[in-house]
Structure 1
Amino acid sequence: MYRLAPSISAALSLLAALGLACRASAQEPKSDELIPPVAIYKVDPSHPSELYDRGIEGEAIIIANVDVFGTVIDPVVDRATHDEFGLAALLAASEWIFEPATKNGVPQAVRVKIPFTFKIAFEHKLNVEMGREVFKEIDVPVTPSFELEQAPMPKFIPAFDEFYPEAFLNTGKSAAVSVEFIVNPDGNVINPRIVSISTPGFEEAAMRAVAHIQYNTIRVQGQPVHVSIMMPIQFSP
């Protein structure tokens, strides 16, 4: 059996130790690396009532200091699409709590940007757009259109392509959509819902389009009724 000379064995042991040390050093974070703060408690801002009632969406960015305890200090509005959004975001940001930033394991005070987005549900936006309740609860019977002696005919149908989604402009995408909705005694379309769709992304456009359809009052035995109708819609670029 051959044995390595003591000097060679020692040299190899040293190289192995250096290799392990290098790998460990590569895996450890740099000693001067700043680990940013992490929000551990968030408060969502309230959508300003006036802007909500008008269906207005927007955003705001708050700049603030986060101290060594993770507390938000001296928040200010960096920018906001509306002053009301800025104020709402400011109030929300002041209540956030962070796990503080650290360097070498020591907490550090840092300055951060906190973005906020103010979104509104599509149903409310469509109600605002139409100036009436498009989506509402109904506690009366609804008659399926196929039970009528004659299918209801709209007195007004918009050009559906006018509602083609802006996000799909210049994409060449088209869509076939089946929409079910209810015609109320005023002849207005309410509660549209998607039954089937060939291309995702056209759902809101389809519901917005049928909301503009108008009918004459539909009557059964002389009485105005709610009637459910299924309608196919085609969108083309």
Structure 2
Amino acid sequence: MVRPTRLVLVASVLILAGCSTLVTPAGQSVSTDAYNREMSRQGTQYYCGDGKCDRPPRLLSAAAPLYPPAALRAGQSGEASVLFEIDEQGAVTNATLETATAPEFGEAALRAIRLWKYQPATLGGKPVRVGPSRQKIPFEWR
């Protein structure tokens, strides 16, 4: 029998080409520090190119997706990639599943990412919509 306490979700935080990795128990709040460091490393031009914004969005809160129960029972690993925009209020909008190794991983990733909250990007001090951004989330056992 698989013990749920041994479950760890590895959330690779990738926005378009980012590469920070966060490790957290599934469903728990994740530290936004690594994610925001990666966004900062990529620079304003990466997110705001073509004059879309002068300050990129900043992740304020996020939770790791819940590991799908059927995959949990089967000890199955996989991943999902979600495309989304961040609106003027910092909410995730237009989230769509790009790819998933199994439908249940895609559904879990979408449910979680739709709840993430950002400080919105700005242009001339006013909040603006940006995106699409890409978030890849591997589901792995450790």
- Fold match (TM-score > 0.5): yes
CA RMSD of aligned residues (A): 2.0
TM superposition shift of 1:103: 2.2
Tell me, yes or no, if the aligned pair for 1:52 and 1:120 is still in contact at 8 Å: no
Specify the SS of the correspondent of 1:43: coil
Q: Could you say which residue in structure 2 is the equivalent of 1:120? A: 141
Specify the SS of the correspondent of 2:106: helix
Q: Relative contact order: is structure 1 or structure 2 higher (C-alpha 8 Å, sep ≥ 6)?
A: 2
Query: TM-score, structure 1 length as denominator?
Result: 0.36
Gaps of 5+ in 2: 1-43, 46-50
The separation in 2 between residues aligned to 1:50 and 1:110, in whole angstroms, is: 35
Is 1:92 matched with 2:108?
no
Q: Could you say which residue in structure 1 is the equivalent of 2:79? A: 59
The separation in 2 between residues aligned to 1:61 and 1:35, in whole angstroms, is: 25
TM superposition shift of 1:65: 1.7
The counterpart of 2:94, out of the listed 57, 74, 77, is 74
Q: Give the letter for the 2:71 counterpart.
A: L
Q: Give the letter for the 1:82 counterpart.
A: A
Q: Aligned pairs, how many? A: 92
TM superposition shift of 1:119: 1.7
Specify the SS of the correspondent of 1:35: coil
Q: Could you say which residue in structure 1 is the equivalent of 2:15? A: none
Q: Give the letter for the 1:76 counterpart.
A: T
Higher-Rg member (1/2): 1
Query: TM-score, structure 2 length as denominator?
Result: 0.58
Q: Could you say which residue in structure 2 is the equivalent of 1:172? A: none
Gaps of 5+ in 1: 1-28, 122-237
Q: Could you say which residue in structure 2 is the equivalent of 1:36? A: 56
